[in-house]
Amino acid sequence: MGLLIKNARVVDKYLDGESDIYIKDGVIKLIEKNISNVDVDEVIDASGLVVMPAFVDLHAHFREPGNTEKEDLKTGSLAALRGGYTFVNLMANTKPPISSMEMVDYVLDKSKELDLIDIHQVVTVTENFDGKTIDHLDSLDLDKVKVISEDGYEVMSNKVMLDAMKKARGHNLLIMSHAEEMEISKEDYRIAENIMTLRNLYLANETEVRIHMSHVSTKEALIQIKYYKEAKNNVSCEVSPHHIALIDSDYRVNPPIREIRDRLAIIDGIKTGIVDAIATDHAPHTKADKEKGAPGMVGLETAFAVCFTELVDKKFITLNKLVELMSRNPSEIMGINKGKLMEGYDGDVVLVDLEKSYRINSEKFHSKSKNTAFENREVKGKVVATVKAGKVRYRNEDYNI
């Protein structure tokens, strides 16, 4: 299949100018002006639109297996496409938890059958979140599993986490840290995040395992990350759109929405390179569960607009930098052939209208869940179409392309 995108403003980390893009057999073949005489099945006139590498989400929950009333692989994938994402890294806190290759293969096989987006399935650090058993890590297919995480919980034992990091280093696995001292978080979420951030960074420094700090939300945690990133090249981190955009909100997420000092520290960390990526922490819940206090919000369908509005439109960073945070860097962290508009890279791109202002309406979400702190918030930047492997997988109904 051949796809030719004409007359686009093409933006990557190092690109910003008008060009055409030719994708053939799922791969970018040409990026230059006035492409012609190529074999195509479809031509898109992208005049007035921006084309960027499709987004890559390092952190999401699709709730399958076990809680498909909240989300499943199909609805989560459709939500991803509507938000401009073609790759999602799924956390393991399902029911049952993802602690075996049987469960990994269930997710991967179903995702392949759906043929919507690419998915990587994370495996738990301890077996079934029992906090102590790590023998299952020796049975992983390392061609399929690249990341382990106790997200949603935390490995509370220092010795177990040390041993898990040693094992992960031996298998070249990335550890994603959900930094929360869970006894302390009952009283103080800030201390809980900061103290566990320090522990995990210290142990990672000693074992030299690759560690990725998830949903960083405090100024103090960012200071610690900066220190350890400068000491060794084995640390990366992400922040979430809701921690970029919100302050002093009682909307329940974990970690909580923080204070103005934390928001400013996050934005400064983005500008200075301490923060490597923006990840959604897409966490679907039913209305009933949310009313009972379940933490989390959906984010795949709002992430780009929220981040563009808060970071680029307000001139904290350039659009090139936002592409780096949402596409290039997450792809490099995951070791996948995405995130760059270059010949030979996957033909995954997103077309956006940067001039379009609108109010977020959760009733239009493709996700089963509507739990968002951004309901009715005015934002700028509309995803018009999402292309996966040279095939248009999502088209916004308001545009004729």
DSSP string across 118-130: EEEE-B-SSGGG-
Instruction: Report whether 122 contacts 151 (CB < 8 A).
Output: yes
- Give residue-wise pLDDT tens across range 241-271: 999 999 999 999 999 999 999 999 999 999 9
Q: How far is CA 267 from CA 188, 213, 324, 397, in A?
A: 23, 16, 15, 33
Q: Choosing from 12, 72, 118, 281, which is the catalytic residue?
A: 281
- Give residue-wise pLDDT tens across range 97-139: 999 999 999 999 999 999 999 999 999 999 999 999 999 999 9
- Give residue-wise pLDDT tens across range 155-198: 999 999 999 999 999 999 999 999 999 999 999 999 999 999 99
Residues with Cβ within 8 Å of residue 305, at least 6 apart in sequence: 358, 360, 379, 380, 381, 382, 383
Mean pLDDT of 266-286: 98
Instruction: Report whether 205 contacts 231 (CB < 8 A).
Output: yes
- Give residue-wise pLDDT tens across range 40-71: 999 999 999 999 999 999 999 999 999 999 99
Mean pLDDT of 333-337: 98
Mean pLDDT of 204-214: 98
The answer on pLDDT for 1 being more than 90 is: no
The answer on pLDDT for 341 being more than 90 is: yes
Mean pLDDT of 148-158: 96
Domain coordinates of the chain in residue numbers? 2-52+346-360+378-395, 54-334
The answer on pLDDT for 401 being more than 90 is: no
Instruction: Report whether 56 contacts 327 (CB < 8 A).
Output: yes
Give the tokens for residue 206: 């000693």
* Topology of the domain covering 54-334: TIM Barrel (3.20.20)
- Give residue-wise pLDDT tens across range 291-300: 999 999 999 9
2-52+346-360+378-395 placed in CATH 2.30.40.10: yes
Mean pLDDT of 141-145: 98
Instruction: Specify the amino acid at residue 4.
Output: L
pLDDT interval class at 22 (50, 70, 90): very high
What integer best gives the mean pLDDT of the chain?
97
Predicted pLDDT of residue 103? 98
Predicted pLDDT of residue 354? 98
Instruction: Report whether 347 contacts 387 (CB < 8 A).
Output: yes
Predicted pLDDT of residue 85? 99
Question: Quick check: is 281 catalytic?
Answer: yes
Mean pLDDT of 144-155: 96
> What stretch of H or E contains 220?
helix 219-231
Structure-derived torsion over alpha carbons of residues 186, 191, 193, 199, reported in degrees to the nearest 10: -120
